[in-house]
Structure 1
Amino acid sequence: MKTKVLIMGGSGFVGSALVPALLDSGCNVTTLNRGSRLVRGAEQITTDGYDAAAMKAVTARFDVVIDTSCYDGAATRIAYEAFGGASTLWLHLSSAAVYRAIGNTGALESDALGGADVWAEYGRAKHAAETVLIDAAKGPFVILRPPYLYGPQNDSDRETFIWSRALSGRPVIVPGTGSALIQFLHVEDLAALFIYLLKSVPDSSQIYNVAAPEIMTSYEWARRLAAIAGRDIELLRGAEVAPKERPRDYFPFRDTNCIVNPQKLFATTDWRPQFDWQKRIRCNL
């Protein structure tokens, strides 16, 4: 019998890799979202995730729930109350932004949580979503905390931001001194990890950092992207040319480390990321 999987969300960037991967693995896939985009190959439930009555009115039940879209505690509570009781596994996509501070060696799962001030409400809300799930869960769950995602159909203007300026000869300002450390995970690696977990349901609930090992500075990231486009680019440092401006007003990332230590995942499973940033990023250009 096919595994019945419900994806909370599923019509965006993560879903573009996750839905096809699940279908290829033989799963029966249903998405639940507001229905603004067609998700090919999946059944679609159209409803508002914040409407508790509408969520509870859904009569279908699923073996595995993958939550890619709950950004706060309220949405997580509603979703779990609607679907958690019948599922054998709950997979929750969180974020490195839940950590209160990230040093130069990467956050550990045991580090202080609550979201750093630089992430504003996003980090606090993602932490609240985790807390609600941990408190409510009656069966096994896995929380995944990646840093930045990249890959085809990324709807965040990140790589394209640098390439558009490199190709048009415009300079780029990097935040601060350009020394903030950043780390990535390819969206297809994330999809592969979800499939790995649903095929080998853990005996107990787990929280994992997940990322490819390579770490680079924001300055190096911008320089390497421009080089991939075959262009030199003028890189200016925000600390010198825009000291009073918010980094997110002129660059895709904040002036803060966003790196995690994934060794717990690597030590306790045989899953490994397959995509090398330098090779795979060329596919996006």
Structure 2
Amino acid sequence: MKKVLITGGTVFVSRYLAEHYVANGYEVYVLNRNTRTQSEGVYLIEADRHKIGDLLQGIHFNLVVDTAYTREDIECLREALYSYDDYVLISSSAVYPETTMQPFLEEAPLGKNSIWGNYGINKIEAEHTLLKLDKDAYILRPPYLYGPMNNVYREAFVFDCALSGKTFNLPEDGEMKLQFFYVGDLCRMIDELLVQRPEKHIFNVGNKDGITIKEWVTICYEVAGRKVTFRNIYENISYREYFCFNEYEYILDVERQNQILQETTSMKDGLKEAFAWYQNHQMEVNRRKYKDFD
């Protein structure tokens, strides 16, 4: 049985990955401090990733999937690993400065993005460190991830508005576009990389086209069984005070991904899965209080 190591494994992306590989017959190890509920079927390695010691010695992993945030995260895990075949880092589109020409290409210059600040800088350092240590590792740069197990108050915020029958406070005309990627497609992309083994090792991942926030909110209401009505907000106020995304529009070029992954999940189908999960796990979402214009 193949062995996979997932760093984290208890929240959103890493948890979804862990359960994906359990369902596909892998022997799944998760590395975390055991402060949250563990998924069924995983083997827990209880440790701070900066103080792993010899807990991984003698274990060969066929795959390591890492959600590392910093250079130190990479260095500590690599030092602790005994042996492995493939390493995949889940990075972020935050590595691209907002001033770079769009759509962002994988070869575009990296640098500080004023929206994401040090988060993006730290991801850049993590990427560079990993490729220095393992030139064959794969790096994935997603936009906004969504789907089941999402503990970030994004689609769940809109579901709450829908279920309570609220008129939705829409930033301006609602034409700002966002780019998303379904967490299940992220898993499929990793699986395809390991089958096809492309020469390129850095991939933007995401839906090919962006979607306006008005269209996105409308679909969220629809999958929740409600019809949306909008209140357009033109106040001189930050989007983030009343909406679940920053006032920042960008698009990744995902042509390289499309050569590996032929199809991605439609936004409606992905949000249906997200809503189905949310109905039974509402307490697992980190809610945020937004300004209401009622």
TM-score with structure 2 length normalisation? 0.83
Contact 2:147 2:183 in 1 (8 A): yes
The alignment partner of 2:179 has SS state of strand
The alignment partner of 2:87 has SS state of strand
Q: Is 1:136–2:133 an aligned residue pair?
A: yes
Q: String of CA shifts for 1:210-239, please: whole Å, max 9, x gaps.
A: 1122311223322332344322232323xx
Equivalent in the alignment of 2:219: 224
- Distance in 2 separating the partners of 1:102 and 1:25: 41
The alignment partner of 1:6 has SS state of strand
The alignment partner of 1:118 has SS state of coil
- Distance in 1 separating the partners of 2:84 and 2:267: 35
Describe how 1:12-31 pairs up with structure 2 within 5 A: 12-31=11-30
Equivalent in the alignment of 2:41: 41
Q: Is 1:263–2:255 an aligned residue pair?
A: yes
The alignment partner of 2:89 has SS state of strand
Q: String of CA shifts for 1:46-80, please: whole Å, max 9, x gaps.
A: 100122xx345431332221102x11111112112
Q: Which runs of 5+ in 2 are unaligned?
A: 276-294
Q: Is 1:272–2:254 an aligned residue pair?
A: no
Whichever residue aligns with residue 75 of structure 1, its letter is D
Relative to structure 1, the CA distance from residue 56 to residue 180 in structure 2 (aligned partners, 3 Å threshold; closer, same or farther) is farther
- Distance in 2 separating the partners of 1:217 and 1:103: 21
Q: String of CA shifts for 1:87-111, please: whole Å, max 9, x gaps.
A: 2211000111111127785211011
Whichever residue aligns with residue 9 of structure 2, its letter is G
Q: Kindly state the Cα deviation for residue 170 of structure 1 after the two structures are TM-superposed.
A: 3.3
Contact 1:180 1:218 in 2 (8 A): yes
Describe how 1:184-223 pairs up with structure 2 within 5 A: 184-202=180-198, 204=199, 206-223=201-218
Relative to structure 1, the CA distance from residue 280 to residue 122 in structure 2 (aligned partners, 3 Å threshold; closer, same or farther) is same
% identical aligned pairs = 29
- Distance in 2 separating the partners of 1:219 and 1:180: 8
Equivalent in the alignment of 1:249: 241
- Distance in 1 separating the partners of 2:76 and 2:32: 14
The alignment partner of 1:251 has SS state of coil
Contact 1:88 1:140 in 2 (8 A): no
Contact 2:100 2:109 in 1 (8 A): no
- Of the candidates 100, 111, 116, which is equivalent to residue 113 of structure 2? 116
Q: CA RMSD in A?
A: 2.3
Relative to structure 1, the CA distance from residue 127 to residue 43 in structure 2 (aligned partners, 3 Å threshold; closer, same or farther) is same
Q: Kindly state the Cα deviation for residue 114 of structure 1 after the two structures are TM-superposed.
A: 1.9
The alignment partner of 1:22 has SS state of helix
The alignment partner of 2:138 has SS state of strand
Contact 1:100 1:113 in 2 (8 A): yes
Equivalent in the alignment of 1:80: 78
Whichever residue aligns with residue 265 of structure 1, its letter is Q
Q: String of CA shifts for 1:4-26, please: whole Å, max 9, x gaps.
A: 21111122112343223223333
Contact 2:31 2:44 in 1 (8 A): yes
- Distance in 1 separating the partners of 2:270 and 2:103: 23
Relative to structure 1, the CA distance from residue 56 to residue 131 in structure 2 (aligned partners, 3 Å threshold; closer, same or farther) is farther
The alignment partner of 1:282 has SS state of helix
Q: String of CA shifts for 1:122-179, please: whole Å, max 9, x gaps.
A: 2121122112112222x51100011111111211111121121233243444446544
Contact 1:63 1:89 in 2 (8 A): yes
Number of residue-to-residue matches in the alignment: 272
